[in-house]
Amino acid sequence: MKRSVWPVPDSDVEVRDVRGLMRPYAEEQLRAIADRAEVDGKFPRHVVDDLAKLGALGLGFPTDLGGSGGSYLGLCVAVEEVYRISPGIAASAFMSPLIAYDILQFGSTEQRERYVPAILDGTAVAALAVTEPDAGSDVAALRTTARRTAAGWVLNGQKMYITNAGIADLMLVLAQTPDEGPRSISAFVVDMPAAGVTVDAKLDKLGWRASETNGVTLDGCVVPEDAMLGSPGSGFTLVMTGFNLERATLAAGSVGLAQGALDDAIDYTVTRTQFGRPLASFQAVRHSLASAAAEIEAARQLTYYAARLIGTGDDGIAAASMAKLVASNMCQDVARRCLQVHGGAGFMKEFRAERYYRDSMIMTIGGGTSEIQAEIIGRQLGLREQPGKQPK
């Protein structure tokens, strides 16, 4: 069945333009390689070059640093369109602009000029190394250290679940800087490959299989004095600021994933017949998909609202967390329902429904779990945990 690109017209010119640019690329070029990347468990590096040529990696970034201009809303729409076809490819491809954003916000002129254009033109792939074995949701508990020596900063520690670690040209590493003050956390740009940095074997995952994830060991890795991003002790704020854009893009990814799952479910249910009529003609099926479309659109508009706030001076913390919370929960529910309307076929690798379902599971975890998003929103509302008696 031939459907319009999307039944709800994009009222915003920027959204319409970016979708118009991305949809044909995603449908024609990405669709052709997505299955192979999934089976091989390998990120197709050339996608970074393709997206850079389209100007998609630079959406929202200033043109004097190689960006495409516009707002981060444009970036979110590009993310949405790639997720619609391949969440795994999207996860790896759009990690790098997030690091470019951190460097743009906190870097020196030299750091900005050296790294931002290289990331946006696809020359450099970037990774973000925050999570550790004992520091996931609790970022401040990280144990990796950076100590100032005559040779530069010396980094030691263990990072885990790092997207793009194996293919990265630069890695933004968060570390304790104990000599700079109590509870001091700082960020460092490490050019990769680097002596003293070992990327562990690729991890085997439930979803995002076209994105590569590894642990990283830092063992006496020496980086120059000017590898620090921002000032000593600013690392926590830096990463939290960057998380706003990451959360908006993950919300957009959730919307795109759900849209892809719904599009497939519609195609399947209008062609598959049971009891002498198409599945889509049964009210229960029709209403399930119609509700999914409405839920996707609601999450999309909240995501766009959050995306518009980023980079405008409004910190957008609550909006980014709300968008991620709502969109990621929606995406899991929609992916499950879209699998369900495929019946047994939905359980088979032959159809993409099972992939969307598996990929949806990371969306409530990566970039801060749903529980942490709820904590952040609660704090923005002035709600905090208070000591008190345990109920009997």
Instruction: Kindly list the residues in this chain that would bind ligand FAD in the complex (CB under 6 A).
Output: 128-131, 136-137, 161-163, 205, 208, 213, 362, 365-366, 368-369, 371-372, 375
CB of 278 to ligand FAD, least distance (A): 37
Between residues 316 and 367, which has the closer beta carbon with respect to ligand FAD? 367
Contact 35, 50 (CB under 8 A): no
Between residues 86 and 163, which has the closer beta carbon with respect to ligand FAD? 163
Between residues 87 and 117, which has the closer beta carbon with respect to ligand FAD? 87
| Residue nearest to ligand FAD according to CB distances in the complex | 136
- The C-alpha atoms of residue 385 and residue 214 are separated, in whole angstroms, by 35
Q: Which of 91, 85, 93 is CA-nearest to residue 34?
A: 85
Contact 190, 197 (CB under 8 A): yes
CB of 267 to ligand FAD, least distance (A): 28
224: preceding bond cis by omega (within 30 degrees): no
Identify the three-state secondary structure at position 288.
helix
Element (H, E) at 155: strand 152-163
CB of 188 to ligand FAD, least distance (A): 14
Between residues 28 and 385, which has the closer beta carbon with respect to ligand FAD? 385
Identify the three-state secondary structure at position 365.
coil
370, with CB counted inside 10 A (0-12, 13-18, 19+), is middle
CB of 137 to ligand FAD, least distance (A): 3
Residue 28: φ, ψ to 5°: -90, -50
36, with CB counted inside 10 A (0-12, 13-18, 19+), is exposed
Contact 252, 307 (CB under 8 A): yes
CB of 14 to ligand FAD, least distance (A): 28
CB of 228 to ligand FAD, least distance (A): 18
- The C-alpha atoms of residue 115 and residue 61 are separated, in whole angstroms, by 13
CB of 385 to ligand FAD, least distance (A): 9
